[in-house]
Amino acid sequence: MGNITKTDKRFLNYAKKEAEKSKDPSTQVGAVIVTKENEIVSKGYNSFVTNASKSAMTWDRPMKYHLVVHAEMNALISADRSDLSDCKLYITHAPCSNCLKHVLQSGIREIYVNELGPGFERGTLDDLEAVCRMLAACKVKCQVCEEDDSDCAPPYEAMVMKKLIKEGRLKGKSFGAHSVLAGFQEDRSWVIDLSDDKIQEEHGDEPCRTKK
């Protein structure tokens, strides 16, 4: 679990306000890029390409998935510099694998998410595994800041990993649960809680709990 400051919550609220600008009738996403000194670099929300003819565009699924520029991408494009290694990203929903790789390529290694969103709930296992691989490989701090008064937040990659394990996705792969857990225990301050009975029965993993 990571600590969430009042400043983090403030910028997450900025991301929510940015999301309100989206014309998407079903999912409004906002993103804010902020320096370590807490100065806003850029903002973005999910939208069509700028100046696109509305008559040729649609918010209907699944076509909209091919037409919409995601909030994180708009924020990256709007930034007045390419190196964002001294910045943090605040977003209303967890990023998809495509947005995440561009965020990481810009140098950002600290991400705060307000809620899991459709990418986690309805995303493909391929996309979730890709997200998990990138977060682990780049040692990214990505925390989910739940809608409560808590000052702690779970790491997003732990939540993704647990879902992948439950789906049997990692069984028999080199990116298996044990090797990843070992890496996390060595390099990170947390490990995934695998105490769930179903996971124990299906995969035989020993329970791992958050370090003190």
Q: Which residue shows structure tokens 């990843």? A: 180
* Residue 97 phi, psi dihedral angles, 5° rounding: -65, -35
Whole-angstrom distance, CA of residue 72 vs CA of residue 92: 10
157 in catalytic set: no
d(CA 73, CA 54): 20
Q: Where do we find the tokens 């995934």?
A: 192
- Determine the 3-state secondary structure of 148 from DSSP: coil
CB 76 within 8 A of CB 91: no
Q: Do residues 99 and 74 lie in contact, with contact meaning Cβ atoms separated by under 8 Å?
A: no
Q: Of residues 20, 37, 72, 157, which has the active-site annotation?
A: 72
Question: What is the rounded distance in angstroms from the CA atom of residue 101 to the CA atom of residue 104?
Answer: 5
| Type of residue at 133 | R
Residue 126, token pair as written in the block: 């391929």
| Residues catalogued as catalytic | 72
